[in-house]
């Protein structure tokens, strides 16, 4: 079994799933109807990406173990926190609207660059999933960029809320570009994306009249299964039905 490849695919799936779950918390609570629908659609896009990656991971697991026990549902609903490999950024609380859109901007800028690379991956299935998802992520990046600019260069209050969001989230961005062993073996060196990501952030922040933070200590651990306290609560809510009623079907 190529454990590194399976770990890498699950990492990609976990990132998308946890971001989808976080964004879905806004459904019915968005600031205006149009944006409520927008954030919900982004959540559904990310959920679809995670499903494609989980299905592929389950296929590889079953082939290697000569079984059919692994499914997209078992990988999403029956693993504990330490088995998840999503980055810290994805599991951070929504906070207010400013924090949510900034988190999405940081993540979408990263995903956009990542999927552009992965669409040329030697693994045809990963490449196909990335190529399909890139169309969605292009919209996510445009949408979140526009909101960062709108709030940063808006009222005094919206500007201050963006500053607070930057203080909360910047420390979790460095992990995106610190490759885990399975990334180097099965994907590519994500540290090569850092400069392009940073340049995109600088361009948007300048238009939003927001300062780019100085270097600070970056939190790490999510890619290897060490998480903040937030992930446990996310999984408790997300996995409740499956764990309470095993194998339940509609």
Question: Does residue 24 fall inside a structural domain?
Answer: yes
Task: Give residue 1's pLDDT.
Answer: 55
Instruction: With respect to residue 58, please indicate whether it lies within any of the assigned structural domains.
Output: yes
Tokens of 136: 């969605």
pLDDT in tens, the chain (250 residues): 589 999 999 999 999 999 999 999 988 877 887 787 899 999 999 999 999 999 999 999 999 888 888 999 999 999 999 999 999 999 999 999 999 999 999 999 999 999 999 999 999 999 999 999 999 999 999 999 999 999 999 999 999 999 999 999 999 999 999 999 999 988 789 999 999 999 999 999 999 999 999 888 999 999 999 999 999 999 999 999 989 988 876 6
Distance CA 182, CA 224 (A): 10
Q: What global pTM score does this model have?
A: 0.95
Secondary structure (DSSP) of the chain: --HHHHHHHHHHHHHHHHHHHHHHTTTTT-SSHHHHHHHHHHHHHHHHHHHHHHHHHHHHHHHHHTSS---HHHHHHS--GGG----HHHHS---SHHHHHHHHHHHHHHHHHHHHHHTT-SSHHHHHHHHHHHHHHHHHHHHHHHHHHHHHTS-HHHHHHHHHHHHHHGGGTGGGGS--HHHHHHS--GGGGHHHHHHHHHHHHHHTT-PPPPP-PPP--GGGT---HHHHHHHHHHSHHHHHSTT---
Q: Does residue 65 lie within any of the structural domains?
A: yes
Q: What is the largest CA-CA distance in the chain?
A: 60
Distance between CA atoms of residues 159 and 140, nearest Å: 21
Residue-by-residue DSSP string for 169-206:
HGGGTGGGGS--HHHHHHS--GGGGHHHHHHHHHHHHH
* Domain range enclosing 7: 3-244
How many structural domains is the chain composed of? 1
**What CATH number is given to the structural domain containing 49?**
1.20.1260.10
Look at residues 154, 112, 7, 126 and name the one whose alpha carbon lies nearest to residue 104: 112
How much is the pLDDT for 250? Answer: 60
Asked whether the beta carbons of 176 and 110 are under 8 A apart, the reply is: yes
Residue 78 CA to residue 80 CA, distance in Å, equals 7
Residue 179 lies in a domain: yes
For residue 249, being part of any structural domain is answered with no
**Residue 188: inside a domain:** yes
pLDDT number for residue 21: 96
Q: Is residue 250 part of a domain?
A: no
- Give the pLDDT confidence score for residue 67 in this predicted structure: 82
């Amino acid at each position: 079994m190529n454990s590194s490849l399976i770990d890498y695919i699950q990492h990609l799936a976990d990132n998308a799933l946890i971001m989808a779950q976080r964004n879905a918390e806004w459904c019915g609570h968005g600031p205006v109807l149009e944006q409520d629908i927008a954030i919900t659609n982004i959540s559904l896009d990310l959920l679809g990406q995670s499903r494609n990656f989980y299905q592929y991971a389950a296929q590889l697991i079953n082939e290697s173990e000569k079984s059919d026990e692994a499914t997209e549902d078992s990988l999403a609903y029956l693993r504990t926190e330490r088995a998840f490999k999503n980055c810290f950024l994805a599991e951070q609380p929504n906070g207010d609207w400013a924090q949510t859109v900034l988190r999405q901007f940081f993540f979408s800028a990263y995903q956009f660059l990542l999927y552009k690379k992965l669409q040329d991956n030697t693994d045809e299935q990963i490449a196909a999933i990335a190529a399909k998802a890139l169309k969605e992520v292009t919209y996510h990046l445009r949408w979140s960029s526009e909101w960062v600019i709108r709030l940063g260069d808006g009222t005094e209050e919206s500007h201050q809320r963006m500053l607070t969001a930057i203080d909360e989230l910047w420390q979790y961005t460095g992990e995106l570009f610190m490759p885990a062993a399975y990334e180097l073996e099965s994907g590519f060196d994500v540290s090569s994306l850092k400069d392009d990501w940073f340049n995109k952030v600088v361009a948007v922040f300048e238009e939003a009249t927001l300062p780019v933070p100085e270097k600070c200590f970056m939190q790490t651990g999510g890619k290897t299964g060490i998480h903040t306290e937030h992930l446990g609560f996310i999984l408790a809510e997300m996995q409740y039905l499956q764990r309470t009623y095993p194998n339940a079907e509609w």
